[in-house]
Amino acid sequence: MALLTPDDLADMTNALIKNDCLIQELTTYSLDGLCRKVYGTAPGNEMIAIVPVTAGNGIIGSFSESLLFTVKHFGMNGFITENTDVAGYYEAVTAGADIVLMADDLAYIAHNLRNGKIAHNQVCTGRIYAEILCHAADFADGDIDNDNIDNDENALLVIGLGKVGTPALETFLNEKQNIYVFDVDSKRVDEIVLHYPVKKYDPKDGKTFSRIFEATPCADTISESVLRENSVVSTPGIPCGISGELIEKYSVRVVLEPLGIGTLSMLYAVFDFRVA
């Protein structure tokens, strides 16, 4: 998995606050309000422990601190354990933590020790960035008619069909979206098109999209040929998949943040269900 760098996280607090405002503007939901709607859960005063992990490439500067900022920014209780790894896990449990957040190079998880629920960052990131785009539908294009699933006018483009892009695709399908897919790995595209009711995006068709999802580790994966005026791009991919020049030229709204949005999605995935 592509690992974050301290540089990726340098402006994370501003990015989280800025993207929360953009999400509100696009969907009328705040980020935590959208998570509550999507998962049907809500925080119940849980104590959240963040355990730094030294495995693999080791501790990433400000990774744990970024998680703690996210927890506190949304009004929840949290702490970073003094110890790392197993000692840190032991410290978390004996301190009475209800939820543990920890990440090695292969998986970043949230585990609720009370209800047993466990969540994976790649799945929850794909899901929430997709839901932001689904809920933006009513606002990005005014009169989007999601019932008319085959109207390509409403179609959505998914770029990057990996461990984040695939859960996003499944979320779009659950939300009955009309989907075109693209990935540089043509075998992966064939596999996806065979398995899911989606269409292969072909640059030769000259199709443009008002909503684009991107989850790749590459820059400039979103070309001018797919953009419309005021397109909405929802992209967890790092680095950003669309250039500053195209963002400006087409007044594109871009939802992109390195860690907090995905973390909040993980927490709502493991909270208890709450009636509205």
Site for Mg ion in 232-261 (CB under 5 A): 257, 261
Two tokens at 157?
Answer: 């483009």
Q: Binding ligand NAI by CB under 6 A: which of 215, 222, 226, 246?
A: 215
- Does residue 59 belong to the site contacting ligand PYL (CB under 6 A)? yes
Site for ligand PYL in 124-143 (CB under 6 A): none
Two tokens at 249?
Answer: 């030229």
Two tokens at 266?
Answer: 């993980």
Cα 189 from Cα 201, distance rounded (Å): 9
- β-pairing, 209-214 with 227-234? parallel
Cα 34 from Cα 163, distance rounded (Å): 22
Write the CA distances from 199 to 116, 144, 182, integer angstroms. Answer: 37, 19, 9
- Does residue 160 belong to the site contacting ligand NAI (CB under 6 A)? yes
Site for ligand NAI in 84-123 (CB under 6 A): 121-122
- Does residue 60 belong to the site contacting ligand PYL (CB under 6 A)? yes
- Does residue 52 belong to the site contacting ligand PYL (CB under 6 A)? yes
Query: Segment near ligand NAI (CB under 6 A), from 170-178, 210-218, 247-255, 268-276?
Result: 210-218
55 φ, ψ (degrees, to nearest 5): -60, 160
Q: Which amino acid is at 268?
A: Y
Residue 1 or 47: the one with the smaller Cβ distance to ligand NAI is 1
- Does residue 217 belong to the site contacting ligand NAI (CB under 6 A)? yes
Torsion of CA 26, 63, 162, 130, to 10 degrees: -20
Query: Segment near ligand NAI (CB under 6 A), from 26-34, 86-94, 150-158, 159-167?
Result: 159-167
Residues forming contacts to ligand PYL in the complex (CB under 6 A) are 1-4, 52-53, 59-60, 63-64, 103-105, 108, 121, 259
